[in-house]
Amino acid sequence: MFAARRAFTSALQTRAFSASARDLSKVTVLGAAGGIGQPLSLLLKLNPRVTDLALYDIRLAPGVAADISHINTKSKVTGYEPTPSGLDAALKGAEIVLIPAGVPRKPGMTRDDLFNTNASIVRDLAKAAAKSSPNANILVISNPVNSTVPIVAEVFKKAGVYNPKRLFGVTTLDVVRASRFVSELKGTDPVDENITVVGGHSGVTIVPLFSQSSHPDLVGNAALLKRVQFGGDEVVQAKDGAGSATLSMAMAGARFAESLLKAAQGQKGVIEPTFVESPLYKDQGIDFFASKVELGPNGAEKILEVGKLAPEEEKLLEACLADLKKGVSFVAQNP
Ligand code: NAD
Ligand code: LMR
């Protein structure tokens, strides 16, 4: 009887061990002490799928890590200083690397105005990631996303480790905003609103597809469209010089990371719109485009077509593609 119970317990322990060994997930945040980095790290600490949380910043990361590490969830939290070995150690073994490092906008600025500062920050962090975590999923939050994502791709290509299935521009905040704004208009629960947003992550490149939602009547609603395309400006203006969206972005970044972890751990049908290297408009010279992507153990498993659009949305997509094309030459002129 005791022997039988011992055998059962040991079988359970073996199962628990093999499950946790399979599900070990190290997540690294670069820029972890910033406005996005701190709440994002907090949300990741609350995620039971994360087993090891590595926080890196050029300032304060050990302090943020010490603080978050007192939260009574299982994951181990470590903070890293801005030394080359600190950055490498933060990255080593990571399954997911989130990058919110960089400066945010102030009123009157566009996201492209951040390029000169953020491009080199992202480039240098990408170089470290290419060396120390070449197989990780890289989630770029730093703006301008339409340009910082191609920069990471170039760095990884140069290092000979580029895998387009593992590089994502995080556009989840546009999806989160769209569902929230629609629910405000329709009096619904925002979690039930699933609005696809395609294109890129700035102004007219943000294209919500209301025709594909349960509210096709919202196509042509100019005020709603403006809120979705320029939601970031609303926050920048309200913060009045103190930065841009941080808390909602942290939630959006944590949601995208959770989707990737779920998919990596075997859940099927996990689909998120995200800015990836995409075949959809390559013939027009556009290499990166956000559309719905099915996630899986290999990262971006399947890039879905944009699908049928309303005539108004066709026009929005044209404007989006024209703007994304400008972005291509912008990156080429500012390598
Ligand atoms: P922030 O200034 O509050 O924080 C940025 C952090 O990055 C700081 O802690 C800073 O020390 C750190 N940092 C700077 N250089 C670094 C480096 N080389 N290595 C590591 N860390 C470094 O800014 P924030 O509000 O957190 O915004 C960060 C970025 O995210 C901005 O570029 C902003 O535009 C962008 N953003 C993107 C989205 C999106 O939807 N993708 C949404 C909101 C903000
Ligand atoms: C956002 O959409 O809130 C972010 O891209 C930050 C910004 O500059 O608007």
Which pLDDT score is estimated for 305? 97
Q: pLDDT 10s per residue in the chain (335 long)?
A: 344 444 433 443 443 333 444 578 999 999 999 999 999 999 999 999 999 999 999 999 999 999 999 999 999 999 999 998 999 999 999 999 999 999 999 999 999 999 999 999 999 999 999 999 999 999 999 999 999 999 999 999 999 999 999 999 999 999 999 999 999 999 999 999 999 999 999 999 999 999 999 999 999 999 999 999 999 999 999 999 999 999 999 999 999 999 999 999 999 999 999 999 999 999 999 999 999 999 999 999 999 999 999 999 999 999 999 999 986 665 666 55
Site to probe by mutation for ligand 2, drawn from 143, 146, 171, 229 as the one with most ligand atoms within 8 Å of Cβ, is 143
Burial class (CB in 10 A: 0-12, 13-18, 19+), 232: buried
175 lines ligand 2 (CB under 6 A): no
The yes/no answer to whether this complex scores an ipTM above 0.90 is: yes
- Does the domain made of 171-333 have the CATH classification 3.40.190.10? no
Which pLDDT score is estimated for 331? 62
105 lines ligand 2 (CB under 6 A): yes
Phi, psi angle pair for 226, to nearest 5° = -60, -40
Rounded to 10°, the helix 231-239/172-186 angle is 90
Residue tagged 């039988």 (tokens)? 4
| 70 Cα distance to chain centroid | 26
Query: Which residues' Cβ are closer than 6 Å to ligand 1?
Result: 30-31, 33-37, 57-59, 100-105, 114, 118, 121, 124-125, 141-143, 145, 170, 173, 201, 243-246, 249
Among candidates 257, 299, 305, which has minimal Cα distance to 278? 305
Å from CA of 30 to ligand 1 middle: 9
CB contact at 8 A, 115 and 106 = no
Active-site positions read 201
Dihedral over alpha carbons 145, 149, 150, 155 (to 10 degrees) = 140
Q: pTM for the complete prediction?
A: 0.94
Residue tagged 């609303």 (tokens)? 234
Alpha carbons within 13 A on the beta-carbon side of 283: 1
CB contact at 8 A, 30 and 97 = yes
227 lines ligand 2 (CB under 6 A): no
Residue by residue, DSSP assigns 10-69 as HHHHHHHHHHHHHT--EEEEETTTSTTHHHHHHHHHT-TT--EEEEE-SSSHHHHHHHHT
Flag whether 118 is marked binding: yes
Q: Where do the domains of the chain lie? A: 25-169, 171-333
Alpha carbons within 13 A on the beta-carbon side of 72: 0
Dihedral over alpha carbons 97, 176, 279, 310 (to 10 degrees) = 180
CATH of domain 25-169: 3.40.50.720
Which pLDDT score is estimated for 116? 93
Which pLDDT score is estimated for 13? 42
Which residues have C-beta within 8 Å of that of residue 165, sequence separation ≥ 6?
A: 298, 299, 300, 301
Å from CA of 219 to ligand 1 middle: 33
In our burial notation (b when 16+ CB lie closer than 10 A, e otherwise), range 301-335 reads eebeebeebeeebeebbeebbebbeebbeebeeee
In our burial notation (b when 16+ CB lie closer than 10 A, e otherwise), range 44-67 reads bbebebbbbbbbbbeebbbebbeb
Å from CA of 244 to ligand 2 middle: 6
244 lines ligand 2 (CB under 6 A): yes
Nearest-CA residue for ligand 2 atom 5 is: 232
